[in-house]
Structure 1
Amino acid sequence: MFGIGFSELLLVAVIALLVLGPERLPKAARFAGLWVRRARAQWYSVKTELERELATEDLRRSLSAQGDEINAIARDANANLDSAARTVSATASAATAAVQPETTADAAAGNKAADAGDAPAAIENPATDKP
């Protein structure tokens, strides 16, 4: 991890034995081990917190991308719906325009028959009943 080999570690242990002596070396080793454990625990805590933050950010990005995709689909659906509504409206206008002259002509013919006093002809013509 730090590039320390076995021979270098053995050299540090021999120097520590000579400096501290056999009575204080076990206490110093326990103390050093305690601090190494605490440092490792802190490192793992920071690492897990960072991973959690990254996972949260990835989820946010994914959710945002899905939301954009849903919005695009909704826009396409609205565009298709508007197009279909315009088509239906145009078809209805054309059908109304095609039917209206016939109705007007039938009504005019019925009115002429009623004005002429020909009651049976006016009754037989159903176009006069229409508004």
Structure 2
Amino acid sequence: MIDLGISKLALIGAVALVVIGPEKLPRVARTVGALLGKAQRYVSDVKAEVSRSMELEELKKMKDSMTEAARDVESSVQSGASDFEKSWSDATAGLDGTSSTSSYDANAPLGSLEHPVYKHPKKNWRLKQGAMPQWYKARAGVRTRTQSGAARVARFRPRSNSGSR
């Protein structure tokens, strides 16, 4: 890097004062400062982009390694489950009177097993039990129909006694 000390900066300032002149020197100094600031921001943006791309590459490598580990665990669990099902069917073959061959398919999806899925007999029982009866709404004064603001004001406006004047 360039080593700029006080003496070198003073020498550069004196040369610039002689070459550029005292009238234009402040404007040139502002322009040079703005250009140096833009250059520094550009360099910092490039550094940040490079570091982001490096972090992204590291994250991709980590994701790939985790995916591979998950596949290995899944394959070991599936092989262990099929071995367990085979040994279970062999152990329970004589208990229920069936033969030793199993009807279990390790590759079949879970929904295709013989066991039915439980379904609650009442369809929307929470909704039905939480409903408020209409007679209670009418007695308690709960609004069941929407009304515009003008209609509500007209409904509850006190009646004027025009005949008592």
TM-score of the superposed pair, with normalisation by structure 1: 0.60
Could you say if the C-alpha distance between residues 79 and 5 of structure 1 is closer, same or farther in structure 2, counting changes exceeding 3 Å? farther
Deviates more, 1:8-17 or 1:23-32: 8-17
Runs of 4+ in 1 over 3 A off after TM superposition: 89-93
**Shift of residue 38 of structure 1?**
1.3
What is the match of residue 50 of structure 1?
Answer: 50
**Shift of residue 92 of structure 1?**
4.9
User: Counterpart amino acid of 2:14?
Assistant: V
Superposed, which structure 2 residues align to 1:27-106 within 5 Å?
Answer: 27-92=27-92, 95=94
Aligned pair count reads 97
**Shift of residue 89 of structure 1?**
4.1
Instruction: List alignment gaps of at least 5 residues for structure 1.
Output: 101-131
What is the match of residue 9 of structure 2?
Answer: 9
Could you say if the C-alpha distance between residues 3 and 82 of structure 1 is closer, same or farther in structure 2, counting changes exceeding 3 Å? farther
1:69-126 Cα deviation digits (max 9, x unpaired): 2111111111211221332344356x48xx98xxxxxxxxxxxxxxxxxxxxxxxxxx
Whose relative contact order is higher, 1 or 2, with alpha carbons under 8 Å and at least 6 apart?
1
Instruction: List alignment gaps of at least 5 residues for structure 2.
Output: 100-165
Higher helix proportion, which one?
1
CA–CA distance in structure 1, aligned partners of residues 60 and 75 of structure 2: 22
Decide which structure has the larger Cα Rg and report it.
Answer: 1
